[in-house]
């Protein structure tokens, strides 16, 4: 197996695989002012930000909480940097910890020191950030797009590397076709990814924005959007909703919706949760053929 193939397969396991793989070209054994490949304590003033980090939003309150924790307990998980020269480093990962350490007015931080070219650094930063749970769907989509365009991966190759279904990758990338106002709404969590996915099918940009504004102002559900797109009438205001029969108002919770979306992405098919007023219900997994059913059964048995 070539060294290039080994590097590519390591990416599929995330950043930790890259850092632990001695056969990649990003490690060395020593340097003039710190051991490359080990944990060292380095000056915060000698570290510059990672220009490839796809993450753009850092919640101030969460950052302050982490800063307070660092003041008390220190940095538990070292950041990772690449060496630029003597006493000069650039972040590969750990920007949130780095920013919190700056808030805590630390002068030094523990860090893994690595040697990485820009291509390897981009791949490492993107793969690690995709695996985070607190990225919003637009940040994830932008990371996917950069891996496809700048690292020259196909969607199938990307699916294998990050252990996500191709349908999940496609659904995220489609969000980038939405108008800027709607993308901002996703970033600011005014609407869910489910809402955004439904809006993609709403027609041209003007129609999408009009429906987006209705979703925000009238607190419409994903099901409401789908009904509107089918040309059906809905009761959008809270006052109108109060007049509906109890059965018609049954909605799944945020946790149930997240589960439904996760299972649908994993199985690459539509999943529905149907609830009745007496508390029971069913989970419906859709399939298109006997072959598709066999594929789903195999995935569930893994």
Residues identified as active-site: 95
* HSE of 235, CA atoms in CB hemisphere, 13 A: 10
Which residues does 161 contact at the CB level (< 8 Å), separation at least 6?
Answer: 8, 11, 12, 127, 147, 153
Helical segments of 110-204, H only: 118-130, 137-150, 155-162, 166-175, 180-187, 193-200
Q: Sign of dihedral through CA atoms 217, 223, 228, 232?
A: negative
User: How many angstroms separate the CA atoms of 153 and 144, rounded?
Assistant: 9
In order of 132, 136, 154, 202, the CA distances from 192 in angstroms are 17, 9, 27, 16
Write the DSSP symbol of residue 134: S
In contact, 209 and 181? CB cutoff 8 Å: yes
């Amino acid at each position: 197996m070539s060294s290039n193939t080994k590097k590519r397969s390591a990416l599929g396991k995330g950043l930790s695989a890259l850092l632990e793989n001695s056969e990649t070209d990003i490690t060395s054994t020593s340097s003039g002012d710190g051991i490359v490949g080990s944990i060292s304590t380095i000056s915060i003033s000698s570290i510059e930000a990672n220009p490839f980090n796809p993450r753009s939003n850092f919640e101030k309150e969460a950052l302050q909480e982490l800063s307070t924790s660092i003041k008390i307990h220190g940095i538990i998980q070292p950041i990772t940097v690449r060496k630029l020269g003597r006493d000069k480093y650039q972040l590969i990962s750990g920007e949130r910890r780095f920013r919190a350490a700056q808030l805590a007015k630390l002068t030094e931080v523990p860090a893994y020191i690595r040697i990485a070219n820009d291509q390897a650094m981009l791949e490492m930063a993107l793969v690690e950030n995709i695996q985070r749970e607190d990225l919003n769907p637009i940040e994830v989509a932008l990371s996917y797009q950069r891996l496809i365009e700048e690292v020259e991966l196909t969607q199938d190759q990307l699916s294998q590397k990050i252990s996500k279904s191709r349908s999940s990758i496609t659904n995220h990338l489609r969000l980038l076709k939405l108008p800027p106002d709607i993308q901002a709404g996703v970033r600011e969590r005014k609407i869910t990814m489910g809402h955004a996915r439904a809006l993609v099918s709403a027609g041209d940009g003007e129609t999408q924005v009009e429906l987006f504004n209705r979703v925000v102002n009238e607190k419409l559900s994903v099901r409401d959007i789908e009904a509107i797109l089918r040309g059906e009438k809905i009761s959008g205001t809270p006052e109108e909703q109060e007049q509906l029969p109890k059965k018609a108002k049954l909605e799944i919770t945020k946790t149930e919706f997240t589960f439904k979306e996760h299972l649908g992405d994993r199985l690459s098919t539509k999943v529905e949760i149907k609830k009745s007023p007496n508390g029971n219900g069913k989970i419906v997994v859709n399939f298109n053929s006997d072959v598709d059913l066999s594929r789903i059964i195999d995935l569930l048995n893994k």
